[in-house]
Structure 1
Amino acid sequence: MAATHAIQATFDDLGTPLAEVTFVVVDLETTGGSAKACEITEIGAVKVRGGEILGEFQTLVRPGSPIPAFISVLTGITNSMVAAAPTIQTVLPSFLDFSRGSVLVAHNAPFDIGFLKAACAGLQLPWPGNRVLDTVHLARQLVPRDEVPNHKLATLAALFGATTSPDHRALHDARATVDVLHALLGRVGSLGVHTVEELASYSSRVSPKQRRKRYLASRLPSAPGVYVFKDDQDRTLYVGTSVNIKKRVSSYFTASEQRSRMAEMVGLATSVTPIVCETALEAQVRELRLIAEHKPRFNRRSRHPERALWLKLTVEPFPRLSIVREVRDDGAQYAGPFGSRGRAELAVAAIHEVIPLRQCTKRLSARTTSTACALAEMGRCGAPCTGAQGVDDYATVVADVAAALSGDARHVVDALNERMRGLSEQERFEEASTVRDRMLELVRAGARAQRLRPLATSAEMVAARRGPAGGWEIICVRYGRLAGVTVSPPGADPQPYIDALRDTAEVVSAPAAPVPAAHPEETEKVLHWLEQPGVRMVHVDGQWTCPLHGAGAARDRLEPLVRARTDAPGFGDAVERIRPTRGAAGSTRLAG
């Protein structure tokens, strides 16, 4: 796969210092509280940067309906005062020009900004999309209730000694809000917030210790790939992936990261190592491999892929089902993997529900006999242990199980469906749902094994798809393991890149099928990529097939009926959408 790249951060990546930000502090007076039903009667705004006032904007606005009496009492704005004022059609474009390129600030911003957006919509003017800062929200983070009884503008203006007292006139209130803003910026600056980007995400939920660690992201690249948090002993704490490493790591030091365990992780972290990747698939695979290798304490998923369980149909005169951790090249039939023993046991129970396969664990031979068990007396086993069922008769039972696990699942699925219908007709709904859950685990496992097998048994697959910026993303997969990745530039002939990739890709030894040479979760990622629209197979050394009546069709019908589990398989497209094909081998050439 692609080598690690170092990318020098630019000054733009560091954020905009608050002293260089232009703020336009705005306040509105209106005919009521609803932006949909009421209108603006006055706009007041103050433009400031670095503590200096750059300009002011103030005007009354003539509404299309009379101002209610109680509003006139509150604001002092009467119908006679606005009779000769300009309409919003004249005022709004002027205000938008005044505030262009600035950060809009308001006390209870959703109210004021809501009216401005509604006015734009009414005049069919595009909203310019200014960044918005709400001083009420910021004050709630910075001014505790032991200082003030509430966070109203008048209360905060008195606390901070504002030079203008708010009186429900737009410009006066805007001037008071400027003083409150400067006081709040002084407080947040002492906590290490120095850029507008940091201010936008500030929250008191983020501890000072966590916020001080933001320097860990300052030199990271704004590129896709993997990031690795490490402690002072160079131990891996957490591994993640993102389309923008710098932006994602920066979020760990803001309010957008609300997981308590991540706050603990950030407190221990002393460095972040970036691994820039050429494609999203490469990043996903690198993440899985690093988690499996280092088992970081703060990663919850994918830490122990070696603990995956498989369902095995044993090889002996009278085969049985067994749950195992290791897949061997012993001629046995396997299905899985399963994320837990409980799920594997559900799949076993599904088969035993409708197929009289023996459930005892001892090894039987055709020459030894013993006493029949209770299952045999109930007719749920042919009792090969007593000699009542010979090897050939028992083999027909085993064939149904083998087919369900490896190819044609119809017989078992139909029997389970019939079993559910019978229970439902008897109004034994809880038992019917249990059968359904068991069947789902069985067909999930069967689908996994059936769809992993082509990759696990193919010595090499090379595939490509168009990159988002042109050119081709090209991958080489050997026995289900991502052996190499490259990207050809837009307009270039991709064939030399394909040839170079095949020559330099990782050498991978053949595994014991159906287990791929990688952890199954990695192969699932690769398989999902291969199934995306626009992917072209360039070279196949093996079989790229899917069984016509495999377990996937039943799985796709059952999935919507059962609440998704956390370890549900990651396959994207339904099996019915994949047409069965003959085994394919060969190469395809891509156009540049």
Structure 2
Amino acid sequence: MSITSTRGQPGTSVQPSFADLGTPLQDVTFVVVDLETTGSRADDAGITEIGAVKVRGGEVLGEFQSLVNPGRPVPAFVARLTGITTTMVATAPDPDLVLPSFLEFAHDAVLVAHNAPFDIGFLRAACAELGYAWPGFAVVDTLPLARRVVTRDEARNHKLSTLAALFRAGTSPDHRALADARATVDVLHGLLERLAPLGVTHLEDLATASDPVPADVRRKATLADGLPSSPGVYLFRGPDDEVLYVGTSTNIRQRVRSYFTAAEKRRRMTEMVRIADAVTPVVCATPLEARVRELRLIAEHAPRYNRRSKHPERRSWVRLTDEAYPRLSVVSEVRGDAPHIGPFTSRRTASAAVEAVHDALSLRQCTQRLPLVARERRSPCALAGLDRCSAPCTAVETPDVGYAAVVAEATAALTGDPGVVVRALGERVARLAAQERFEEAGQVTARLRAFVGGAARAQRLDPLSRCAELVAGRPTPAGGWELVVVRHARLAATAVTGAGEDPWPVVHALRATAEVVDAPTPPAPACHPEEAALILDWLDQPDVRLVDVSDPWTCPVRSAVAHADLDDVAATVALAVGEAADTMAAC
């Protein structure tokens, strides 16, 4: 079968030949080079030997080899490794004599080296030191090529000596430049033979041969064309305009382009890119606005390739029920004025927080509603016998007033100082640790962390969710102000002023045009819980200035936030373990 080119004939289609695809590898002149040096860094070491082999089409065209006087002693460990001593290079030609000869030998060729950044780095440094312009050689590195086509089943590593043995090189590398270059020639030919079935047949193919990015993914890079280099949100869209993934970046175009390179190693993202056919940018004035918009878009579209921040309605809370004898309950939303902590990312974590409180306080754990006074005496449950429940169900003639004290302690732990729970569980962790029951100690610590984390989140959210409006500003690096209006913990408006611009007219305009936000049931915010957390973190920055606050924005001094890192637990554990050790030593 023959293919006839009709190039240049009017009115006819053009069938390109294989030559149009680039330079065939058999026509490329390669100069395979290897260096020996006095060290590993080009800025404080010198070249002791250059070896090179010129090949084309599998045929050796010439060789180059010369010792080089590095102008410094050869370290003993290098001499042992290479066999090149200070005495050997003392009478060798200087770099200003050897380097021009090598550059002439390699003229118009493609340089090849194993771990090319090392050898090429020394050559470039030598050129710079001697005042020679670097010729701008095309460079092929056999190390990443080997990683692409030589599996761990075939070779334990990708060192030159290992690959030379695998490809049965005619010369064994021995840390002398010419021998290593000869071995690299055989390795290069072996790699090219394996790459040919993968479509690597031209010089231009080698540029991406070691790139693990599939060709169909790389072609999608055009989706980033025309995107702004501004902060904001980007939406990958698939067939039928489905939102596949939502992300945020300080530079939308640069971030989107990274999805089509080797920098993206997540398999799910590669799968997503294959489906995507468009990217929609949403430019934002500030990183805070971008992150908030990202959360809202994820919650709105629930993209299948986003793993976090979806379905805020599925968050769990722990509630102290409003009944005659309250108990703790895991609920999906905040209702009424009863104390709540949370939100928790899962019902399992919320249940762990409940168990932490039950470990410290004798709240009832049964789920039935109890009358204030029972008609007949009941037998207390097993938990009551273990002093883990104050058994209000046994109250017959008068209400159980003792249980009210337990509820008051629980309320204080949930809404204020959780010290009673922290101390009780901290002491228990210490006892378990002293008994070397570390797995149980870890379980108790996990429950305590769940409780303290949920209480801290609720105590931070509560005052902000009650605040009808909060206006704050932060100076920008450009000399202006980043202004925000927050209503019930939701970002209602934001803007940025220029350097020297009076911010007050912008503040007034923001307040007049900000989103109307209905009051939620505290401590739940009027937004995604993660959005409220972003707002709180932004407000906590030292350079943020409060402009106006409609309602008190306070947090208890002795609150769960103070225990969030569990320093008190660590101190209690250390003290208890120390006391246990002293007791055992005294015995």
Give the TM-score normalised by structure 2. 0.72
Question: Which residue in 1 is equivalent to 2:458?
Answer: 449
1:471-510 matches, cutoff 5 A: 471-510=480-519
List per-residue Cα deviations over 1:422-464 (Å, max 9, x = no partner). 4445554443333222111111110000001121110111111
Aligned to 1:421: 430
The question of whether the paired residues in 2 share the 8 Å contact of 1:226 and 1:287 is answered with yes
1:357–1:381 CA contact under 8 A, matched in 2: yes
d(CA) in 2 for partners of 1:456, 1:528: 15
- Give the secondary structure class of the aligned counterpart of 1:322: strand
The SS at the match of 2:348 is: helix
In structure 2, the CA distance between the partners of 1:247 and 1:188, relative to structure 1 (3 Å rule), is farther
Distance, in Å, in 1 between the alignment partners of 2:568 and 2:137 is 42
Residue from 337, 349, 355 that aligns with 1:343: 349
Q: Which moved more, 1:400-409 or 1:552-561?
A: 552-561
User: Of 378, 383, 391, which residue of structure 1 is paired with 2:386?
Assistant: 378
Q: Is the 8 A contact 1:400 1:412 kept in 2?
A: no
Rg larger for: 2
Could you say which residue in structure 2 is the equivalent of 1:322? 329
Q: Is contact 1:357–1:398 with CA below 8 Å preserved after alignment?
A: yes
Match of 1:311 among 293, 312, 318: 318
Structure 1 residue aligned with 2:239: 232
Q: What is the identity, as a one-letter code, of the residue corresponding to 1:336?
A: G
Indicate the residue corresponding to 2:540 in structure 1.
531
* 1:489-519 deviation digits (Å, cap 9, x = unpaired): 1221222221211111111111011000001
Look up the SS of the partner of 1:482 in the other structure: strand
1:31–1:67 Cα contact (<8 Å) kept: no
In structure 2, what is the Cα distance between the partners aligned to 1:131 and 1:413? 66
Tell whether 2:218 aligns with 1:211: yes
Aligned-pair identity in percent equals 49
Of residues 34-43 and 246-255 in structure 1, the stretch that sits farther from structure 2 once superposed is 34-43
The one-character-per-residue Cα deviations of 1:392-439 (angstroms, maximum 9, x if unpaired) are: 322111111111111122223222223333444555444333322211
Choose which of 286, 293, 297 in structure 2 pairs with 1:286.
293
In 2, the alpha carbon distance for the partners of 1:382 and 1:243 equals 56
| Superposed displacement of residue 379, structure 1 | 2.3
Q: Distance in 2 between matches of 1:252 and 1:439?
A: 40
Distance in 1, matches of 2:111 and 2:532, equals: 49
- Distance change >3 Å, CA 243–CA 421, structure 1 → 2: same
Displacement of 1:470 after TM fit?
2.7
Equivalent residue, structure 2, for 1:30: 36
**Is the Cα contact below 8 Å between 1:472 and 1:494 reproduced in 2?**
yes
- Structure 1 match to 2:579: none
> CA offsets per residue over residues 137-167 of structure 1, 9 Å max, x none?
453377779xx99997999xx9xxxxxxxx9
**Does the CA-based 8 Å contact 2:73-2:86 persist in structure 1?**
no
User: How has the CA–CA distance of structure 1 residues 495 and 26 changed in structure 2, closer, same or farther, with 3 Å as cutoff?
Assistant: farther
Deviations 1:562-588 (A, max 9, x none): xxxxxxxxxxxxxxxxxxxxxxxxxxx
Cα distance in 2 for residues equivalent to 1:532 and 1:91: 59
Matches within 5 A, 1:246-325: 246-325=253-332
Q: 1:560 to 1:380 in 2, by over 3 A?
A: closer
Distance 1:526 1:433, change over 3 A: same
* Offset at residue 39 of structure 1 (A): 3.4
Q: Deviations over 1:469-495 (max 9, x none)?
A: 331111111001011111011221222
Structure 1-normalised TM-score? 0.71
Indicate conservation of the 8 Å contact 2:469/2:487, yes or no: yes
Deviations 1:300-341 (A, max 9, x none): 11112110000000111111100000112x221100011111
Aligned amino acid, residue 296 of structure 2: R
Q: How does 1:423-442 map to 2 (within 5 A)?
A: 423-442=432-451
Distance 1:448 1:367 in 2: 36
Could you give the per-residue CA deviations for residues 355-400 of structure 1, whole angstroms, max 9, x where no partner exists?
A: 1111111111213245222212222222211106835322111111
Aligned to 2:319, what secondary structure does the other structure show? strand
The residue that corresponds to 2:69 in the other structure is: 62
- With over 3 angstroms needed to count, the CA separation of the structure-2 counterparts of 1:190 and 1:487, relative to structure 1, is farther
The answer to whether the Cα contact below 8 Å between 1:311 and 1:323 also exists between their aligned partners in 2 is yes
How big is the shift at 1:247?
A: 1.3
- 1:514 to 2:529 alignment: no
Which amino acid counterpart does residue 303 of structure 1 have in structure 2?
K
Cα-to-partner distance string for 1:153-198 (whole Å, 9 max, x where unaligned): 999xx9xxxxxxxx9569x99xx99x99xx99x999988x9999x9
**How many correspondences in the alignment?**
499
Whether the 8 Å CA contact 1:60–1:82 is kept in 2: the answer is: no
Amino acid at match of 1:373: C
Residue type of the alignment partner of 1:421: A
3-state SS, counterpart of residue 527 of structure 2: coil
- Tell me if the contact between 2:67 and 2:92 (Cα under 8 Å) persists in the aligned partners: no
- The structure-2 alpha-carbon separation of the partners of 1:366 and 1:135, relative to structure 1 and needing over 3 Å to count, comes to same
Counterpart of 2:381 in structure 1: which amino acid?
C
What secondary structure, in the 3-state scheme, does the structure 1 residue paired with 2:244 have? strand
Residue 223 (structure 1) aligns with:
230
Whether the 8 Å CA contact 1:465–1:474 is kept in 2: the answer is yes
Q: C-alpha deviations, 1:517-562, integer Å up to 9, x for none?
A: 001111001111111221111111112212111012222125997x
Mapped pair 1:397 → 2:409: no
SS at structure 2 position matched to 1:233: helix
Whether contact under 8 Å (1:67, 1:79) holds in the other structure is no
Q: Which runs of 5+ in 1 are unaligned?
A: 1-17, 46-56, 97-102, 159-166, 562-592
